[in-house]
Amino acid sequence: MSLKIQHLLPILGVLSLAACAGEQNESSASVSQCDSAGVAVTDAWAREASAAGASAAYFEICNGGDSADALVGASFAGAAATEIHETVTDADGVMSMAPVARVELPAGGSATLKPGGAHVMLMGLTEDMAAEDTVELTLTFENAEPLTVSLDVRSLADAATHSGH
């Protein structure tokens, strides 16, 4: 029984589409979020804290778009105030935190919010944030749509291994 090329082409086309779909699903989990066409967040976490206290949120923001953007705000339902801050050191070596209006996100680039640098402060917590909880933070951008991310709450001991805030 011989198959003609013209009969094989449709079969090969279907097999190729199925293979591509499988590869796309497998690779999408392993491809860096920076490779997406928009803004994406990875490694999002916050420090545990008691109600009425404060915590900080950290993450990496990737801007896979063709134009620059900026993180310009954040909101957290479990806090009286949510602000973007940056840790600064003065001429005498004294460290302090100060609010900042924005975190720049260059086209095709990223920004890391980390202990000792830029971060999101969650102030006046209305509930405890215990280690192993997951809470949601909504980020506001200059151009991109708001993005709600899940923050893994880490114990103070675990958070301390990520350097001081």
Q: What is the pLDDT of residues 21-80, one digit of tens each?
A: 333 322 223 234 566 778 999 999 999 999 999 999 999 999 999 999 999 999 999 999
Q: Tens digit of pLDDT for each residue in 98-107?
A: 999 999 999 9
- Please compute the mean of the pLDDT values over residues 124-153 and round it to a whole number: 97
E strand or H helix that includes residue 15: helix 5-30
Angle at 79 between CA 73 and CA 80, to 5 degrees: 85
118, 119, 124, 130 alpha-carbon torsion, rounded to 10°: -150
Which DSSP string do the residues of 57-109 spell out, in sequence order? Answer: EEEEEEE-SSS-EEEEEEE-TTEEEEEEEEEEE-TTS-EEEEE-S-EEE-TT-
- Looking at the chain, the whole-number percentage of residues with pLDDT higher than 90 is 69
Whole-model pTM: value is 0.75
Identify the pLDDT of residue 71. Answer: 98
pLDDT-derived band at 158, boundaries 50, 70, 90: confident
